[in-house]
Homo-oligomer: A and B are copies of this chain.
Amino acid sequence: MALKIRQNQSPEPPESCPLTECMKIIGGAWTPNIIWSLRAGPRRFSELRVDIPPISPKVLSTRLRDLESRGVLTRTIMPTSPPSVEYALTPLGARLMPAIEGIVDVGHALKLQGYKA
């Protein structure tokens, strides 16, 4: 049998471009929405699910953990019954808001002018 050479498909991280770096944080599916939902204060898991209806619990969980690991948000277990968990932006996460706001503003402007994909 022929030896199967795995092609080198690994993308050499181009170069730490601020643009690319930032997109790595907010580029994931629903990530901007999550950060946006946290703009006015902490939200719980199920609240986020309501904020962003189409997101599945698995994906929400994945994205939250990813954002937590990147230092964008904190996860706090509240000693309530039933237990609840609050997610809140860190100062670092708050720093991302201008970028998200920029996207929201532009999206809003496009919508107002009747932009269609």
Contact = CB atoms under 8 A, between A and B. Distances in A.
Interface string A38-62: 0110010001001111100000000
Contacts of A1: none
A36 B14 contact: no
A50 B8 CA distance: 9
A81 interface: no
A102 interface: yes
A106 B110 contact: no
Contact of A18 (B20, B26, B99, B107): B107
B54 A110 contact: no
A35 B53 CA distance: 31
Interface string A1-41: 00000111111111111111111111100001100110110
A99 B106 contact: yes
A13 B51 CA distance: 9
A22 B25 CA distance: 16
